[in-house]
Structure 1
């Protein structure tokens, strides 16, 4: 069993304020886990914020429910892990098979200008930034688990 050296939790309504608060939670996490290389911190932070932003921007509450964002962040000597929960969410239909997503690639400048709207690219970006991504349904919650293997400088 891996010992967690740092841990932070956030749960609040899935609003833009939750994303702002999550930035602060991540800042505090890195104060406690300063041994994590900067590159790992930046990549993991970007993946977590993108995933949480997807909940806020695209999450659909179940009928009669209020959508909440839950984030549990843990750091061990070798791994960074985030459990991102869409609490009170309607099920994804269907839950995407993240292993079947195309490998991320860098588009050329014309393609970037042509498709400035980044909608739909978030999952590929998240997948490129972490070691594993899983999605599952647990009761009334869609749960995303992101992990990144971390090396020390």
Structure 2
């Protein structure tokens, strides 16, 4: 087991407020601390002065629905108390989804209003050489990715 910070760069998101953005059906995903819809709360108009966060990273709620962790396949903006995890080495989508489950598995440590803003980087997860064989089962991963791509706001 290793801390999250050994596998990922832990980065605080863009910290935007949805009520100050323009919602549009064909916009950029806005990811919040929600436990629903892959964390996507809305689609918003692209901002001229703020680039979206790159797709292919994990998002983790530091507050709200603490440790809700999702793979974001597309670029996105983020709300308050939301971190994104950028792998330090190339990981497959299967490996990223496995890490989503591993991080989310620690939710029980954050009951009674406790947040993960300061401790996320220290949560213990399996090291890169400890992936179970089922992580590489193509049928399981293909089904999970199909569900992710169907998510609509």
Fold match, TM over 0.5? no
Structure (1 or 2) with the larger CA radius of gyration: 1
- Name the TM tier (shorter chain): under 0.3
TM-score, structure 1 normalization: 0.28
TM-score, structure 2 normalization: 0.28
